[in-house]
Chain A
C-alpha cells in the first residue's frame, strides 16, 4: 500500500541555519502518528514542507504517493493541515469559510452534507452563521480543524491542536480525531502534551535540532524504558546522597528517577540513616515524558 507520507533525505536551510538535516520518515495509511520535540526541533518546518508552505532545499516528500512539489495539486488534495496559530478570515462566518475552503479544492454544493457533518461533530452547529471574529479561542480552534477537513482529505496534520485549549474541548477534539482515524484517516500530530501522544498515537518520532533521534512504536518506547519514578513527601530536606536521582522538586515533594524498582530499598535506607521522615510515597510508571527527557535530552 502507498504510504500516507514518505519523506526522503529532506534538508532545509534558512540562510546559514540548517533547520532539517536529512530527515527520512515513512508514515503508513491509517496510522495515528506523533511528531514530538522541543521548540525549534524542526517539527513545524517539516509540516510546512509537507503542506507546500515551504520548499525543501533538497530531498523528496510525498503525500499518498504524490510528490508535494511536482504533483502539488494531488498532494494538497490528499492533505488537511490544522495550523498552530489561531488564524481566521474576519469577513466570513463559519459555514461560509468552510464552503470557500472546500471550493478551493474543487468541491461544490455536493460537499455541503459533509460540511454539515463536520460542523455537527465539532459542536459548531449553533455557531455556523457566527462571524469568525466573534468566536472564542476554543471555537476558533474547532473551526480550524473543520477547515482542514472541509475537502475530506485522507491525511490530516494537526500542529499543536490543543495548545491553550481547556480540558473539555480537548476531550471533544480527541474523540472526533479518534473517530476520523477509525474511519481510515491518517493522523499526524505534533503536541507538547506528551500524555496525549502516549494515549492516542501508535507510533512516535522525536526530533531534536533538525533530526529524528527516536522513531518507534509508543508501546516499544515505553517497554524499553524500564525506569520508574518515586514521588516522596518528606518531613525535612532530601539528603545530599540522593540528589543525583532527583528529577524535580515541587511544593515540598521530590520526584526521584529510578532505573529499576530495587532502588526503592536504597532510597529508604538513605532516608532512614539521615533521620528523614517519609510522610507520603508513590511509585509511578515511566511515561512518554520520561522517555522523551531521557532519549531526547541524552542525544
Chain B
C-alpha cells in the first residue's frame, strides 16, 4: 500500500534524500556536534558548578538546555545551508530544479529535514547528558515547541544562506559572523540579568535569546522572560523569514535565471 500519494511523492522523496544525505555522514553531522556540546558541558560545569547558581538552579542544569538548543539551531542551519551550497557548487541542484516540485514543496522538504537533524542532534546531547546529570523537564510541550520552531527558523535561514552564497567561504562567513555570535551571545552560558542594562537591551534584539530562554524554561520552569513572549517572537521571526525564503524560491533568485 502506498502511504504517500503520487502528488506528494516528489517533496517526500526530496525530504528523504536530504535525511539520507546527512545520515550518510552522521559521524560529522550528529556525533561531532554531540561531542562538542559535551566538551563545553564538561569544561564549564567543572569550572563553574560550585560557584554559580542561576535562577536558583545549579549551573550545570542551567547550562545543559542552552547547549542543547544552541546545537539544535546550529545544526538545523547547517543542514539546509550546506546541502544547498554543495548542490549549487557541484551543479547537482539541477536534478531538483528540473522536476515538477514546486517552490513551496522545495521549501517544506528542506525545512523538514533541517528540523529532523536539529532534533536528532538535540536528542543525542540530551540522552548523553542525562547519564551524568538529573535534569528536570517541567514543560515537555514547550521544549518540543521551541525545538521544532527554532530549528524551523534556522532551517529557513539556512535555505536563504544556501541560495545567497555562491562559494563555500561566503557560507563560512555567514556561519562564523552571524550564526556563531548570535548563538554565543544569546544567554546559553549566562542569564542576561547578569549583564549591564545596555547589553540586556541588546540581547533582547537577538532572536536566539528567545529560543534559548524559552527552551530552557521548558526544562527548568524558570527563565529570563515569559515563554509566551519568547514563543511569539520566535513564531513571528519564523513567519517573516519563511516569507523571505518563499519569495526567493518563487522568483528563482540565484537558482533560475
Interface on A for B, CB 8 Å cutoff?
14, 48, 51-55, 72-74, 76-77, 79, 81, 83, 85, 87-92, 96-97, 100-101, 103-108, 147
A83 to chain B, nearest CB (A): 6
B50: interface (CB < 8 Å) = no
Cβ-defined contact, B257 with A54, below 8 A: yes
A164 to chain B, nearest CB (A): 16
- Chain B residues with CB below 8 A from A77, complex form: 100
| Interface mask (B91-103 → A, CB under 8 Å = 1, otherwise 0) | 1101111111110
Specify which of A55, A100, A108 is in contact with B17 (CB 8 Å cutoff). Answer: A100
How many chain B residues touch the partner (CB < 8 A)? Answer: 31
| Interface mask (B1-34 → A, CB under 8 Å = 1, otherwise 0) | 0101011011011101100110011000000000
B51: interface (CB < 8 Å) = no
B83 to chain A, nearest CB (A): 9
B82 to chain A, nearest CB (A): 12
B90: interface (CB < 8 Å) = yes
B223 to chain A, nearest CB (A): 39
Cβ-defined contact, A104 with B94, below 8 A: no
Q: Of all chain A residues, which has the CB nearest B8?
A: A106
Specify which of A55, A90, A106 is in contact with B7 (CB 8 Å cutoff). Answer: A106
28 A–B pairs (Cβ distance < 8 Å), ordered by A:
A14-B257, A48-B257, A51-B97, A51-B98, A52-B98, A52-B256, A53-B94, A53-B98, A53-B257, A54-B256, A54-B257, A73-B100, A73-B102, A76-B99, A77-B100, A83-B94, A89-B95, A92-B17, A97-B95, A100-B13, A101-B95, A103-B9, A103-B12, A103-B13, A104-B10, A105-B100, A106-B10, A108-B9
A-B contact count (CB 8 A): 87
CA distance A147 to B98 in the complex (A): 11
Q: Of all chain B residues, which has the CB nearest A12?
A: B257
Interchain residue pairs A-B with the least CB separation, the first 5: A103-B13, A87-B91, A73-B100, A104-B99, A106-B6
CA distance A89 to B88 in the complex (A): 11
Among A52, A87, A101, A104, the one with the most B-chain Cβ atoms within 10 Å of its Cβ is: A104
Interface on B for A, CB 8 Å cutoff?
2, 4, 6-7, 9-10, 12-14, 16-17, 20-21, 24-25, 87, 90-92, 94-102, 252, 256-257
B98 to chain A, nearest CB (A): 6
Cβ-defined contact, A107 with B9, below 8 A: yes
Cβ-defined contact, A104 with B97, below 8 A: no
- Chain A residues with CB below 8 A from B20, complex form: 91-92, 96
Whether A87 contacts B92 in the complex (CB less than 8 A), given A103-B10, A104-B101, comes out as: yes
Specify which of B6, B90, B101 is in contact with A88 (CB 8 Å cutoff). Answer: B90
CA distance A45 to B61 in the complex (A): 59
A277 to chain B, nearest CB (A): 55
- Chain A residues with CB below 8 A from B101, complex form: 104
Whether A147 contacts B95 in the complex (CB less than 8 A), given A53-B256, A55-B257, A103-B12, comes out as: yes
- Chain B residues with CB below 8 A from A83, complex form: 91, 94
Whether A76 contacts B98 in the complex (CB less than 8 A), given A54-B256, A105-B10, comes out as: yes
CA distance A88 to B16 in the complex (A): 18
Starting from the known contacts A89-B87, A100-B16, 16 additional A-B residue pairs (CB-CB under 8 Å) come to: A14-B257, A48-B257, A76-B98, A79-B98, A83-B94, A87-B90, A87-B94, A88-B92, A91-B25, A92-B20, A103-B12, A104-B14, A104-B96, A106-B6, A106-B7, A108-B6
Whether A55 contacts B252 in the complex (CB less than 8 A), given A85-B91, A91-B24, comes out as: yes
CA distance A156 to B51 in the complex (A): 70
